[in-house]
Amino acid sequence: MAAKWIELVTGSLEQKKQYRQYKARIEALPEPYGTVAKALERYFMYYGGITDGDTAVKMMGDFADLWDRAVADGTPVRSIVGEDPVEFAETFVQAYAGTQWIDKERARLTKAIEEAERAEEAR
Amino acid sequence: MSKQMTEMLKGTLEGIVLAILSVQPAYGYEITARLREQGFSDIAEGTVYALLVRVEQRGLVDVEKVPSEKGPPRKVYTLNATGQAYLEEFWRTWSFLSERLEQLHEGGK
């Protein structure tokens, strides 16, 4: 999934440029912010499944903004991610859920039930 | 924060944050600070940030980037008309839920 994710964000030249800028911003974070940001990023790749390049680029931009702000304010990493980093990571990705691959399956499931319901009523 | 508190907050935090924004526009950290003042001492800044990103994606708030004295510009969130309507619905839902729960609570005594 990680490879696919990178492929999707490198889809267009513009997105490739934005992706490189994003990577540079994360690389430039001082410790321990860099480590935390990269650990979260890794989790996003496995959990996220965002299939739309524009959404992925937007998400990464917002994510980098969050860390730049934390560095500027000197906010401890724990106050950013909270007691449960998994919870935080999943909430963050879900904010961009409009274009997740699972949405296609959600629509398919909803449609299947609606069709079954119609067939039931027609009997 | 207890597990139960975390679970209950999950369903209401969005309304709480919109209610804070209905008083005046604010940026992420200000909202977290307000929540902490009001006793939600363990709330993570990232949780509020993620929530703000979500309400932005759903068009409930307007966002303005304001330069800050240090670091990147701050994103200031303002409740818009859609957000206001959403917040009113939240309060109606909340009144219904809290009334029913209170009745159950009284009945169980």
Distance from CA of B88 to the nearest CA of A (A): 22
Average pLDDT, chain B: 90
What phi, psi does A50 have (nearest 5°)? Answer: -75, 125
- Condensed to tens digits (0 to 9), the pLDDT of residues B34-62 reads 998 988 878 888 889 889 988 998 899 99
Residue of B nearest to A59 (CA): B53
Mean pLDDT of all residues in B68-87: 90
Average pLDDT, chain A: 84
Give me the residue label for tokens 């307000």: B34
Return the CA Rg of chain B.
Answer: 16
Which of A22, A67, A69, A81 is most worth mutating to test chain B (most B CB atoms within 10 A of its CB)? A69
**Inter-chain contact B71–A68, Cβ cutoff 8 Å?**
yes
Residue A19 pLDDT: 85
Mean pLDDT of all residues in B80-100: 96
**Inter-chain contact A95–B53, Cβ cutoff 8 Å?**
yes
Residue B72 has pLDDT above 90, yes or no: no
- Identify which of A66, A63, A93 has the alpha carbon closest to the alpha carbon of residue B74: A66
Mean pLDDT lowest among A10-14, A96-100, A113-117, B73-77: A96-100
Q: What does the alpha-carbon distance between residue B60 and residue B69 come to, in Å, rounded to a whole number?
A: 28
Mean pLDDT of all residues in A5-11: 59
Running DSSP on this structure, what letter comes out for residue A50? B
pTM of the entire structure?
0.78
Q: What does the alpha-carbon distance between residue B17 and residue B25 come to, in Å, rounded to a whole number?
A: 11
Residue A39 CB neighbour total at 10 angstroms: 15
Residue A30 pLDDT: 94
- Condensed to tens digits (0 to 9), the pLDDT of residues A54-90 reads 778 888 888 999 999 899 989 899 989 988 899 889 8
B-chain residues near A69 (CB < 8 A):
28-29, 71-72, 74
Distance from CA of A85 to the nearest CA of B (A): 9
pLDDT band at B20 (very low <50, low <70, confident <90, very high): very high
Percentages helix, strand, coil for chain A (3-state, rounded to 5) are 80, 0, 20
Residue B18's contacts (CB-CB under 8 Å, 6 or more residues apart) are B55, B60, B61, B79, B83, B86, B87, B90
Residue A98 pLDDT: 59
**Inter-chain contact A82–B71, Cβ cutoff 8 Å?**
no
Percentages helix, strand, coil for chain B (3-state, rounded to 5) are 65, 15, 20
Q: A6 vs B99, which has greater pLDDT?
A: B99
Residue A10 has pLDDT above 70, yes or no: no
Residue of A nearest to B7 (CA): A87
Structure tokens of B108?
A: 């169980």
Which of B2, B9, B41, B57 is most worth mutating to test chain A (most A CB atoms within 10 A of its CB)? B57
Q: B55 vs A48, which has greater pLDDT?
A: B55
Task: Please state the ipTM of this predicted complex.
Answer: 0.76
